[in-house]
C-alpha cells in the first residue's frame, strides 16, 4: 500500500521509518526538510503539500500536535481534501478533541474520503521500536483495510467504535497516565523527604501491585532528572483539557484530572512546558523543598 505520512516529529519520524521497514511505499511532507531528507535516504519519496501526498497515496496518515493542525492539513488550502480520489483513506493518529475528529470526518466524507481517528500511546520509545498501542474509531470495514498497515507501527491495534471513539479511548488513557505520573511523583518525593532512598523504594515496589508501565518508564527519568521529552508537558495539558471538555459535555466529573492539569499548568508557567511529562515530579519537589535526584546522590555517596 502507498502511504502518505504527514507530521515527522518525535513520534512521526520513527513511525514513518517503521512503515518503510515493513515494505510500504511512503510519501512524506517536505515541511521538515532535514527529516524529510533522512526519510528519503531510507526510501521514502517527498511531496510539497498534503494535497500532493493525497493525490498519490492510498492511505494518508497524520501525526500532528493538535486539533487545529489536523483540521488545516485535512481541510485547508492544498489540504488532503483537495487531493481526494476514489478509495482514499485518511487516518489521523494525533490526539485531538473527539468533536473535531467527527467534524473533519463529515467534511471528508462529502468528498468520498473515509476517515479513522487512531491516536496512539507509548511515547517516543515505543514509536521507535514499533510497539505503540493504537485505539481506532470509524467504520469497521475501513479499519479492516488498514489494520495491517497500522500494525507495522504498533504492538496493539484495537477497534473501539465509531468515529471519535479512538480519541475518547485516548483521553481515558491520558487521564490514567497523568494520574499515575502524579502518584509516582508523590511517592518518590515522600520517600526522599522521609529519609529513605527513592531508588530503594522504586526497587521495592515495582514488583508489587504498585508496579506499572508508567512506574517503569517514568521513575528512572525522575530519579535521574532526565526530562528529555518523549511526551511533552504542554501536549499532555492539551489532552487533559480535551478530557475535561469532554467530561463536562457528558456529565462525568474528573476532579483528579483537573488537579493534575493545574499542576502541569504551574510547571508550564515556570518554563517547563517542553519537558517530558515525568517532569511533573518537579512540582512536588518544589512543594517539599527537596529533589529526588539530590536525595539519591546524597544517599549513594560514601
What does the alpha-carbon distance between residue 150 and residue 134 come to, in Å, rounded to a whole number? 8
β 120-121/2-6 pair status: unpaired
β 120-121/132-137 pair status: antiparallel
Q: Which of 105, 101, 123, 87 is nearest to 235 (CA)?
A: 123
Q: Grid coordinates representing 9?
A: 516529529
Say how many C-beta atoms besides its own lie within 10 A of residue 215's C-beta: 19
Q: Tell me how far the alpha carbon of residue 1 is from its chain's centroid.
A: 24
Which is catalytic among the residues 13, 51, 126, 170? 170
End-to-end CA, the chain:
59
What does the alpha-carbon distance between residue 158 and residue 137 come to, in Å, rounded to a whole number? 9
Say how many C-beta atoms besides its own lie within 10 A of residue 30's C-beta: 16
Is 126 annotated as catalytic?
A: no
Return the SS3 of 168: helix
Tell me the CA distances in angstroms from 160 to 125, 138, 176, one per residue in order: 24, 9, 18
What does the alpha-carbon distance between residue 245 and residue 242 come to, in Å, rounded to a whole number? 5
What does the alpha-carbon distance between residue 236 and residue 249 come to, in Å, rounded to a whole number? 20
Mind telling me the catalytic residues? Answer: 170
Amino acid at each position: 500500500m502507498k502511504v502518505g505520512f504527514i507530521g515527522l516529529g518525535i513520534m512521526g519520524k520513527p513511525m514513518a521509518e517503521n512503515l518503510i521497514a515493513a515494505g510500504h511505499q511512503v510519501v512524506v511532507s517536505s515541511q521538515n526538510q532535514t527529516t524529510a531528507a533522512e526519510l528519503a535516504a531510507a526510501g521514502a519519496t517527498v511531496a510539497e503539500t498534503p494535497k500532493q501526498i493525497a493525490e498519490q497515496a492510498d492511505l494518508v496518515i497524520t501525526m500532528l500536535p493538535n486539533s487545529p493542525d489536523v483540521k488545516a492539513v485535512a481541510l485547508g488550502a492544498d489540504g488532503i481534501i483537495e487531493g481526494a480520489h476514489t478509495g482514499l483513506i485518511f487516518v489521523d493518529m494525533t490526539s485531538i478533541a473527539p468533536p473535531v475528529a467527527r467534524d473533519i470526518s463529515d467534511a471528508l466524507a462529502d468528498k468520498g474520503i473515509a476517515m479513522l481517528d487512531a491516536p496512539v500511546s507509548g511515547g517516543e520509545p515505543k514509536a521507535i521500536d514499533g510497539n505503540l498501542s493504537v485505539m481506532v474509531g470509524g467504520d469497521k470495514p475501513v479499519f479492516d483495510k488498514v489494520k495491517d498497515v497500522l500494525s507495522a507501527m504498533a504492538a496493539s491495534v484495537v477497534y473501539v467504535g465509531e468515529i471519535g471513539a479512538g480519541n475518547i479511548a485516548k483521553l481515558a488513557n491520558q487521564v490514567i497516565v497523568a494520574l499515575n505520573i502524579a502518584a509516582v511523583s508523590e511517592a518518590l518525593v515522600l520517600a526522599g523527604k522521609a529519609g529513605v532512598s527513592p531508588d530503594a523504594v522504586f526497587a521495592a515496589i515495582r514488583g508489587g501491585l504498585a508496579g506499572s508501565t508508567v512506574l517503569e518508564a517514568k521513575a528512572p527519568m525522575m530519579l535521574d532528572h532526565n526530562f528529555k521529552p518523549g511526551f511533552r508537558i504542554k501536549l499532555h495539558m492539551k489532552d487533559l483539557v480535551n478530557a475535561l471538555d469532554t467530561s463536562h459535555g457528558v456529565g462525568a466529573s474528573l476532579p483528579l484530572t483537573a488537579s493534575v492539569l493545574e499542576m502541569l499548568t504551574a510547571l508550564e508557567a515556570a518554563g517547563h512546558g517542553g519537558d517530558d511529562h515525568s517532569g511533573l515530579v518537579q512540582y512536588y519537589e518544589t512543594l517539599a523543598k527537596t529533589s529526588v535526584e539530590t536525595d539519591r546522590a546524597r544517599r549513594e555517596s560514601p
